[in-house]
Chains A and B, each alone.
Chain A
Amino acid sequence: MAPVTRWLVVGPYPPERGTGAEAARAFVEARLRAGDHVHVVSPRPTAAHQHADLASFRGLRVLRDVAKAQRADGIWLRVEPGIVLSPGTDRRRGLAERAALVLWLRRFRERIFDVGDVGLLPGGRAGRPVLAAATRFVAHRAADAEALVLHGADPARVQRATDGEPAPAPTQEGAAPATTQAVAYPPADLVRDLPAEREAIEAAVRARAQQLEVARDAGG
């Protein structure tokens, strides 16, 4: 079978920080250098090609259209809240979400889950179809890799990424009204023997400015 050459990448993305954005960037960089076509969709405006609300069914609808338009045959999906799988949804809705996701994922020949929140991939019978849908899992922590296997993921499909924890969180002046009070002009200090030296001119200018200020104050 010909290798996958058209990728849809779904997840947080630079300039956002964090494991998910860094993992997405690393994957995209590798695929682009290999000459593949890559289209990135992120939940917020970033360096991704496109951004959209990716939560739940709404996100799935967006991604379905994008994947079709891009003729993507591979997907890299970050598993974290706000991207298709919703945490804390009721059982029926959760089942429906997962069923829709599994159905849609079938269109891709390669399906990589980059696991940020392993809790979104439930174990047991309910979670098995989702776990079976991935051709590869990327876990960033040993505990996540273990949890995936405990949930029923095929250990041969679970890959450890190099541990990558998120990086540490990281007058205009207005012009004073210049005086038009009567002061001597031409200003003697600025004329009489004014030497062509910076310091001397600046001193004369400052003295004159003080004179103007005094005159303005005197004029009320």
Chain B
Amino acid sequence: MAEPSRAGTIAFVPPRFGPDVVGGSEAVMREAAVGLAARGWDVEVLTTRARDHYTWADAYPAGRDDVDGVRVLRFDMCREEGRYPGQDDRGALERRIADGIPLDEGQELAWLNGLFRVPELYHHLLADAHRYRAIVFSPYLFWTTVVGTTVAPERSIAMPCLHDEGYARLRVIARSLSQAARAWYLSGPEQDLARELGLAPAEGDLTGAGVPVPDGYDAEGFRARHGIERPFLLYAGRREEGKGWPVLVDAFAAAVARGADLDLVTMGVGEVDAPAAVADRVHDLGFLPDAEAADAFAAAAAYVQPSRNESFSRTVMEAWLAGTPVLANAESAVVAWHCERSGAGVTWTGADELSAAIEAVAASPAAFRELAAPGRAYVLEHYTWPTVLDQMERSLEQMPWPR
């Protein structure tokens, strides 16, 4: 692409930011900020002091910081203790949202303001938004994005990382995101969903997200280091119901009971809770360094993505880069879209089909290896950081500067 004009400062506004912050959208924001800075953009990150999204406790000092060469400003959060004045507690509102029960305006605001607020960040934007060529907000459901995009919508880019879930149907979210100047989407189905829900700004760009490409893989070394002898399925991520982990464990146990000779290896957090009959075949490796995780992807017979709530699915890309086939939940429009476009994954619906797919991997590993072959080329074509940063720069070119 032609060399873009890199004049003006780009602000990134994630709710958490740091080298040790875990989370999909947070990783994309970090790598995009660092990547654009490396290309010569002046980048500033405006965020909170929190590291984890369970406690939202202050972990970093307030004020200026530097992360991988990017200027970071951290602001204090305000958190409500207990009940929001005049409303149900936030847990009750969360349950209503999950159950699809509409909230009134006051309840939506109570939900939005009830987790955390960052008034000093808001006031920084009020005072200084005019200094930024563009302000990138992500993900869609946090105060920083919903309230932040209202300050200078003409300069705001929303990277929603949207899932088809109750939060996405809150009117307070549609009102603010739809006013942003542009959106950066990670996939086609995410863009379609944003339009369907009335969240989409007038302009949108399919930027995708980048995945680092490992220099090489050591599949045999991985097996040896972890003492894993059987072929295995891999799952990386949070082991929780919302991510589909129980479905995977049950389907795996059923396939093993019928004779599939596979193990299940998992990286991430959460209770494993495997049935006793397969407990010795399920290996929880916790968090692994990047290189070791890459070796795990290369050593696996197949990678399973049981979640239906994905806006990109970086682990699927990591599997394909390593030449490993993917068994993906067809209810995730995003992952099904990737499988359709790449041809390198098999989709399933429900535990029986997943169980049958697991049997198929055990019975015909060669066919699955061959199936995976186009996956690496697909990722290299669309989802390396240089490609994604090119897309983001093309989009930033559309943000006028100076105004």
Given contacts A196-B368, A205-B360, contact A175 B348 (CB under 8 A): no
Q: Does A117 contact B (CB under 8 A)?
A: no
Given contacts A15-B172, A45-B78, contact A194 B360 (CB under 8 A): yes
For B253, the chain A residues whose CB sits under 8 A away are 178
B309 to chain A, nearest CB (A): 9
Q: Does A213 contact B (CB under 8 A)?
A: yes
Given contacts A25-B126, A45-B117, A202-B347, contact A194 B352 (CB under 8 A): no
The residue that A208 contacts in the complex, of B146, B150, B356, B369, with Cβ under 8 A, is B356
Chain A's interface: helix, strand, loop or mixed, by majority? Answer: loop
Given contacts A32-B126, A186-B363, contact A202 B346 (CB under 8 A): yes
User: Contact string, A9-28, partner B, CB cutoff 8 A, digits 1/0?
Assistant: 00000111100000001001
B346 and A48 form a contact (CB under 8 A) = no
The CA-CA distance from A180 to B117 in the complex, in Å, is 51
The CA-CA distance from A46 to B369 in the complex, in Å, is 54
Q: Does A174 contact B (CB under 8 A)?
A: yes
A49 and B119 form a contact (CB under 8 A) = yes
A209 and B352 form a contact (CB under 8 A) = yes
B352 and A212 form a contact (CB under 8 A) = yes
For A3, the chain B residues whose CB sits under 8 A away are none
The CA-CA distance from A197 to B371 in the complex, in Å, is 6
Q: Does A162 contact B (CB under 8 A)?
A: no
Most central of B86, B119, B308, B353 by chain A CB within 10 Å: B119
Most central of B117, B146, B260, B359 by chain A CB within 10 Å: B359
* A172-201 at interface with B (beta carbon < 8 Å): 172-180, 183, 185-187, 190-191, 194-198, 201
User: Contact string, B15-50, partner A, CB cutoff 8 A, digits 1/0?
Assistant: 000000000000000000000000000000000000
* B60-113 at interface with A (beta carbon < 8 Å): 78, 80, 84-86, 105, 109, 112-113
Q: Does A38 contact B (CB under 8 A)?
A: yes
Smallest CB-CB separation from B105: which chain A residue?
A: A170
| Chain B interface size range | 35 or more
Chain B's interface: helix, strand, loop or mixed, by majority? Answer: helix
Q: Does B370 contact A (CB under 8 A)?
A: yes
A190 to chain B, nearest CB (A): 4
How many pairs of residues, A versus B, come closer than 8 Å at their CB atoms?
Answer: 161
Q: Does B134 contact A (CB under 8 A)?
A: no
User: Contact string, A74-101, partner B, CB cutoff 8 A, digits 1/0?
Assistant: 0000000000000000000000000000
Q: Does A128 contact B (CB under 8 A)?
A: no
A187 and B359 form a contact (CB under 8 A) = yes
The CA-CA distance from A213 to B355 in the complex, in Å, is 11
B1 to chain A, nearest CB (A): 32
The CA-CA distance from A185 to B109 in the complex, in Å, is 55
B147 and A176 form a contact (CB under 8 A) = no
The residue that B105 contacts in the complex, of A169, A180, A187, with Cβ under 8 A, is A169
A153 to chain B, nearest CB (A): 30
* A1-59 at interface with B (beta carbon < 8 Å): 14-17, 25, 28-29, 32-33, 38, 40, 44-49, 51, 53
Smallest CB-CB separation from B246: which chain A residue?
A: A175
B360 and A45 form a contact (CB under 8 A) = no
Given contacts A45-B78, A175-B246, A197-B371, contact A191 B363 (CB under 8 A): yes
The CA-CA distance from A172 to B99 in the complex, in Å, is 10
User: Contact string, B336-375, partner A, CB cutoff 8 A, digits 1/0?
Assistant: 0001000111111011110111011011101111110100
Interface residue ranges, B against A (CB under 8 Å): 78, 80, 84-86, 105, 109, 112-114, 117, 119-120, 122-123, 126-127, 130, 146-147, 150, 171-172, 175-176, 241-242, 246-247, 249-251, 253-255, 257-260, 308, 331, 339, 343-348, 350-353, 355-357, 359-360, 362-364, 366-371, 373
Q: List 5 A-B pairs, minimum CB-CB distance, nearest first.
A: A178-B254, A196-B370, A185-B259, A208-B356, A32-B127
